[in-house]
Amino acid sequence: MFNFQKEISFLSKHHLIRTLVPIDSGQATTLKQNGKSFLHFSSNNYLGLAGHPTLKSTAIRAVEEWGVGGGASRLVSGNSRLYFELETKIAKFKNTASALVFPSGYAANIGAIGALVQKQDLIFADRLCHASLIDGARLSGATLRVYRHKDTEQLAKLLRQKKKKGQTLIITDGVFSMDGDIAPLAEILRLAEEFDALIYLDDAHATGVLGPNGRGTCDYFALSSPRIIQMGTLSKALGGLGGFIAADRVLIEYLINKARPFIYTTALPPVLLATALAGFELIESDPEIRNRLWRLTSRVRTQINQMGFNTCGSETPIIPILIGPTETALTFSQKLLEEGIYIPAIRPPTVPDGTSRLRISLMATHTDEQIQLLLNSLKHIGKKLRLI
Ligand SMILES: *Cc1c(COP(=O)(O)O)cnc(C)c1O
């Protein structure tokens, strides 16, 4: 017999049970729950575009014109012209010949990786890669080897040892989602060239955020190479929903024909394509939004480090506070909640055992006053719990 209750009891006992709580407001710097309002520091809506007036009015107009649903898969009749416009925009933004939009970042990862490599091939992945990348790797059937986080020396060693014939794919996040640090892309590219590998770069948290023009990790390192397949999402800095791959034309044509999570699913509602397009335009036309995000980032990170917390080498608007024991992380989060600050604890299996943490993410729309309230609470709760 199945015994689901036993597993749930086990999770509860180890403080690992997950529950869904209803949120009564849209994604903004404050969040309503159970009739109370909290300062919100756990959204991936980095640029505040999820509630930006331009995107809202774009959405209303798109709904009037296109209605609400995608209707059918893209290869049948769901491929609205907006897809063409958005994919042209993304390719230009990412400096590639072509791009392909998927229903989500998750679908892009399992779809693209699942199609790019097969059983006879080899995948090397950073240990802290996002779960969706690991799922894609598993789905592909290729042999998966994991290297220590950002450890390109170990990656080189593993590449040197490879005996298998097949293709080699190196998978990494650009900005790591739970640590907020940046992949050593220049070094990984050097290895990819030496060992004739392709790089699958998950820029979910970098797109719209990282680099002088917000174009992502390649922009940050001023790199461009046909060996780098760039993945991104429309659900974080872009404020909506959808994932994408930016690469050369042949690869995109291949994915259209081979990526099952692309083929066998309904097209996105046109309204989401229209808002993503408006989001990219805003990122290009209003760099001040991104600049403010980075000013807040450097202020918050510096002050949290000065308090004596460990921020896991964060370099971006994702700023973790490493706690360690899951129970303590939960207590910290609960105390913050009592002071009106919403930052859920991140626990295994999302992060490795023994590394439970608070994960702060900043938005360009946070006010200076909201930031100060956050810093004050972190400091005195941290002291009360004897963490600093
Ligand atoms: C959020 C995320 C994804 C999945 O993107 P969705 O659009 O939310 O499905 C993939 N990779 C990373 C690193 C992420 O943080």
- For residue 230, the SS3 value is strand
For the residues of 8-57, what is the DSSP string, one character each?
A: HHHHHHTT---------S-SSSEEEETTEEEEE---S-TTSGGG-HHHHH
In degrees and rounded to multiples of 5, residue 203 shows phi and psi of -100, 35
DSSP type of residue 204: T
Report how far ligand 1's centroid is from the alpha carbon of 351 (Å).
Answer: 15
Q: Whose CA is nearest to atom 2 of ligand 1?
A: 204
Q: Report the distance separating Cα 177 and Cα 129, nearest Å.
A: 8
Rounded to whole angstroms, the Cα distance separating 236 from 50 reads: 9
| CA 268 to centroid of ligand 1, rounded, Å | 16
Whether residue 235 contacts residue 241, with contact meaning beta carbons closer than 8 Å, is answered with: yes
Helices and strands (DSSP H and E) totals, the chain = 14, 13
Q: pTM for the whole thing? A: 0.96
H/E stretch holding 379 reads helix 368-384
Torsion 173-177-179-182 (CA) sign = positive
Answer whether 98's CB lies under 8 Å from 246's CB: yes
Mean pLDDT by 10 residues, the chain (388 residues): 92 91 95 96 98 98 98 97 98 98 98 97 97 97 97 97 89 97 98 97 98 98 97 98 98 98 98 98 98 98 98 97 96 97 94 95 98 98 95
Look at residue 162 in the predicted model and tell me its pLDDT. 85
What span, in angstroms and rounded, lies between the C-alpha atoms of 338 and 84? Answer: 47
- Position 165 scores a pLDDT of 83
Tokens of 276: 């993503």
Residues 210, 94: contact at Cβ < 8 Å? Answer: no
Closest CA to 24 of 14, 13, 32, 15: 32
293: left (phi over 0), alpha (psi -120 to 50) or beta: alpha
Report in angstroms the alpha-carbon separations of 54 from 23, 58, 239, 290, 315: 24, 6, 12, 16, 29
Residue 227 in tokens: 């060996």
- Residue 81 CB-half CA count within 13 A: 3
Q: What is the DSSP string of 337-372?
A: HHTTEE-PEE-TTTS-TT-EEEEEE--TT--HHHHH
Q: Which residues have C-beta atoms less than 6 Å from ligand 1?
A: 104-106, 109, 130, 132, 173, 177, 202, 204-205, 233, 235, 243
Cβ 277 vs Cβ 296: under 8 Å: no
CB hemisphere CA count around 207 (13 angstroms): 30
For residue 243, give the ligand 1 atom closest to its CA: 7
User: Among candidates 305, 297, 307, which has minimal Cα distance to 360?
Assistant: 297
For ligand 1, pick from 42, 102, 106 the residue to mutate: most ligand atoms within 8 Å of CB: 106
Question: What is the rounded distance in angstroms from the CA atom of residue 85 to the CA atom of residue 83?
Answer: 5
Atom of ligand 1 nearest to the CA of 235: 7
Kindly list the structural domains of the chain, giving each domain's residue range(s) and its CATH number in brackets, ordered by start. 15-44+287-384 (3.90.1150.10), 54-285 (3.40.640.10)
Catalogue the active-site residues: 177, 205, 236
Supply the angle between the helices 185-194 and 152-161 in degrees, to the nearest 10.
Answer: 10
Give the chain's radius of gyration (CA, Å).
Answer: 21
Both tokens assigned to 115: 């199609």
Residue nearest to atom 3 of ligand 1 (CA): 105
Per the DSSP assignment, residues forming a β-bridge with 33 are 36
Q: How far is the CA of 133 from the centre of ligand 1 (A)?
A: 9
Closest residue by Cα to residue 177 from 2, 335, 7, 350: 350
What are the residues whose beta carbons fall under 8 Å from the beta carbon of 314, sequence distance 6 or more? 179, 180, 181, 301, 320
- Ligand 1, atom 7, lies closest to the CA of 105
